[in-house]
Amino acid sequence: MIAWLLFFIYMEEYFKQKIRNVPNFPKEGIMFRDITTLINDKESFRLGAEALYRFSNDQQIDKVVGIESRGFIFGGLLAHQLGAGLVLVRKPGKLPYKTLRQSYVLEYGEDILEIHTDAIKPGERILLHDDLLATGGTARAACDLIEKAGGVVVQLSFIVELAFLGGKAKFEGYKVDSLVTYQGE
């Protein structure tokens, strides 16, 4: 048990070292956690995929839902490893067939996400995946879409959680896992 905990702390530190910190992106005062360096390195990419897979491999996942567009990177990989199908949640106008829509509030204004009406069968067990859990607005909207479509969100997984933004509070009662968590900026 303690050995596992130490291993987890070690791995989180490893992944943090593989993530590039870019100050003032996308705007002044924000420290952007850039995962492109983590996926660029075949070894950390492989280990990241392995860790995400281990979060979910006992959850009997039917479908992985990836949020546009960085959620597709590990979303496809996770679906494949878990023997599940992959569903895309996208910005409006990108999905060609009939969709369900969900609007959500941003810092300034609002945005919309869509999912195909036939992407999820009622009762299917869903893993929702994205690269980043910040305020949780996007993931919450995606979660609502999945539940509207009749899916059961059994887990959410992220590469990076910015814990100081409190997004996890939007997912009480859900299983939420992240590769790395930042407690402060």
- Which residues are designated catalytic? 70, 107
d(CA 185, CA 175) in angstroms, rounded, equals: 24
Q: How many residues does the chain have?
A: 185
Burial class (CB in 10 A: 0-12, 13-18, 19+), 125: middle
- Closest contact distance (angstroms) between CB of 96 and a copy of itself is 4
Burial class (CB in 10 A: 0-12, 13-18, 19+), 175: middle
- Closest contact distance (angstroms) between CB of 115 and a copy of itself is 10
d(CA 155, CA 158) in angstroms, rounded, equals: 10
- Closest contact distance (angstroms) between CB of 77 and a copy of itself is 5
Q: Which residues bind a copy of itself (CB under 8 A)?
A: 20, 22, 25-26, 32, 34, 36, 39-42, 45-46, 49, 62-63, 66, 68-70, 72-77, 79-80, 83-88, 93, 95-97, 116, 119
